[in-house]
Amino acid sequence: MSNDMSNTTSTNNPSDKNTIDCEEALKRLFEYIDHELHGRRHEEMEDHMSKCRSCYSRLEFEKRLQQHLKNATEQKAPQELQNKIKKLIHKL
């Protein structure tokens, strides 16, 4: 993906078959992050992200957030906390 983002938003030139607007890009954002877009839909997102600084920034934020959450869930809770939770569950 090119990092040349001289435009702050995507163009809406109907003759460009790979153009989508920001609203559509944001709808597809998590599919794109999760590598679930293929073919034309993927190409449209690549094109939009290469042109739209706002959507690209959102993409980078969401990717960093997902990585942070993944790292946070890999840590175990302290044993004392685990014991308290187990006691609370048994009381239910």
What is the structure's pLDDT at 83? 92
Contact 5, 56 (CB under 8 A): yes
Length, in residues, of the chain? 92
- pTM here? 0.63
How far apart (Å, rounded) are the C-alpha atoms in residues 36 and 4? Answer: 24
Predicted pLDDT at 17: 62
Q: Give the count of beta carbons closer than 10 Å to the beta carbon of residue 52.
A: 22
pLDDT tens-digit profile, the chain (92 residues) = 444 444 444 444 444 566 899 999 999 999 999 999 999 999 999 999 999 999 999 999 999 999 998 888 777 888 999 999 999 999 88
Q: Are the C-beta atoms of 49 and 8 separated by less than 8 Å?
A: no
SS3 68: helix
Q: Would you state the pLDDT for residue 38?
A: 96
